[in-house]
A and B are shown apart, each in its own frame.
Chain A
Amino acid sequence: MNIDFNKLFFTFLGLMIVLNWGLLMSALMRKIGARVAKRYGIPWFQPWVDLVKNYAIRSQITHGVMFYLGPVFRLSGGVGLFLFMPMVFGSDLWTNFSFKGDLILILYFQFFGMLGMALGAGEGGQPHSFIGISRGLSQFTTIEVPMTLAVIAIAVQYQTLSISDIVAAQQGGIMNWTVFTNPFATAAAMLSVLGAFGHSPFNLVKAPNEIPIGPPTEYHGTYLGVLRTNAAILHVVEAVLFMNLFFGGATTWIELIVKSFLIYFWSVFVGMVFPRFRIEQSVAWFLKIPLILGIIAIILL
């Protein structure tokens, strides 16, 4: 077995870029939110400080083995998603370990972290945790339905299950992007991305001032640091996934940063002006509008 150390190095470097960009992006989003509320907002380096602070907490308690493993599963879900995601199109170094058929794997990895978290937070024994978990799993299941429909529509449209190929098919002008060639699938996916990012109106997993703060209630210190690291990675990688599938991918890091920012901003923008759904309303909503859009996208093929 020969290991490509060059590839490994660049993958690790990519992970660091994604992590830092994710932290900066969350700071920027919070600053934008603060400005809308006429506040100055947090300093731009606040997420890094929070992360260092969390890792520097001296004492830690445990509730059992699964409690340890919950954040680890979550992080491996995020990193796994990253590993199989081609970041920059056309570059051999920044495509990570993507291969033919990685689309299926990525859909799986999206769910993986959630499940690991469910096991870990469930062992925490805090009622808010498992209420949040049950909400999160049921919502995520319904998000997956329109999302999978949209992905199937694209896979059929481009006759491939490889993300790199899908990006390649969209090159050569803005009109080749899926958002214009297959608007219904894009609409379905962009609505389900609202749920995936977990901002209001679909933030009922964490649901501040209802079940504060859902699954991570018992997690602290290093556990929380791991969870926050994962969140930073996951947000960027999910934005990159949607960028690759619908918005023509990125040929440079700059393009990736701009596009992932805009995709993430879309969910923050909606969250700023809409209150939160109840869980049954959220499930019903996902099974109505995005699902119908997804089915139309399938039918139109």
Chain B
Amino acid sequence: MTEDNFKMSNKQEEEVSKFFAPENEKRKVETPDGEIIEINPLQDYFSDARPKVHHPNTSKVVEKFLNWARAESLWVLGFGTGCGSIEIPPLLTPRFDAFRFGVQMRPTPRQSNVIIISGYLAVKTLKRVIRSYEQMQNPKYVLALGSCTINGGMYFDSYNTINRLDYYIPVDVYVAGCMPRPEALLSGFGKLKELIKAGKGEKANEYVEKFDWYKANQKKIIQDWNMPDYNW
């Protein structure tokens, strides 16, 4: 198999990409360093594309069924961002066993639907959380744990932890406490399921609609923003 067999001419390639997805055309972009480069979105992993709103299915019955499936199969990103992550292992082990409720851990953001922000977020972690959140696919949900995500909790005066999570990413359910017990977390999952089944789990679209506001907030506190604005 040589490479030539698969290679289309440049013109063909352009036509194909125009036909399938206009956002995959070649174009010039400005990198975070201020350099202007030409990219081919099909080959390069650089994106300056804004996120898109993905509307729910127009058929209500179908959407209801899909929402039921989404609610019963919550795949959680295994990213322990703060001290709340100490209560995640008990959640998955015999005592509390969240698997009963369709909660499973996934190691990669691509495959997960729920991100648990387990407690306080240092600014350095916030950057990674935003990246992970944006790499997750629509629909996606955020479960914020602990009082630190609500108003800073006991770190209200710390110079390195954020005070309000909902200024940076949209939050579906808050679980209060320091730290919240696994039972509270399970109840939070229950609440999230109710929201999804009622069709209210559309926070991913809300993020897109208020994208500029969120980005402005994020850029205000993350000083060295050396990544594209949106990482898919």
Task: Kindly identify, within residues 59 to 98 of chain B, every residue whose CB is under 8 Å from any CB belonging to chain A.
Answer: 65-66, 69-70, 72-73, 75, 78, 93-94, 97
CB-based contact A57/B99 at 8 Å: no
The verdict on A224 contacting chain B, using a C-beta distance below 8 Å, is yes
Task: Kindly identify, within residues 61 to 91 of chain A, every residue whose CB is under 8 Å from any CB belonging to chain B.
Answer: 61-65
Binds A, one of B103-111, B163-171, B180-188, B212-220: B103-111
A208 contacts across to B, CB distance below 8 A: 107
Task: Kindly identify, within residues 216 to 230 of chain A, every residue whose CB is under 8 Å from any CB belonging to chain B.
Answer: 216-221, 224
State which of B43, B54, B104 has its C-beta within 8 Å of the C-beta of A58.
B54
How many Å lie between the Cα of A216 and that of B72 in the bound state?
Answer: 22
The verdict on A255 contacting chain B, using a C-beta distance below 8 Å, is no
How many Å lie between the Cα of A220 and that of B95 in the bound state?
Answer: 31
A6 contacts across to B, CB distance below 8 A: none
Residue total for B at the interface (Cβ-Cβ under 8 A): 31
Residue total for A at the interface (Cβ-Cβ under 8 A): 35
The verdict on A34 contacting chain B, using a C-beta distance below 8 Å, is yes
Residues A220 and B137 in contact in the complex (CB < 8 Å), given A43-B102, A50-B73, A58-B54:
yes
The verdict on A59 contacting chain B, using a C-beta distance below 8 Å, is yes
Tell me how many residue pairs across A and B have CB atoms closer than 8 Å.
86
CB-based contact B69/A38 at 8 Å: no
The verdict on B45 contacting chain A, using a C-beta distance below 8 Å, is yes
The verdict on B200 contacting chain A, using a C-beta distance below 8 Å, is no
Residues A52 and B66 in contact in the complex (CB < 8 Å), given A34-B99, A39-B93, A57-B137:
yes
State which of A41, A46, A58 has its C-beta within 8 Å of the C-beta of B73.
A46
Task: List the 7 shortest-distance A-B pairs measured between CB atoms, nearest first.
Answer: A212-B107, A58-B54, A220-B110, A52-B69, A53-B73, A59-B138, A38-B94
Cβ contacts A to B, 7 pairs, < 8 Å: A40-B99, A42-B102, A43-B100, A57-B138, A58-B137, A59-B54, A219-B110
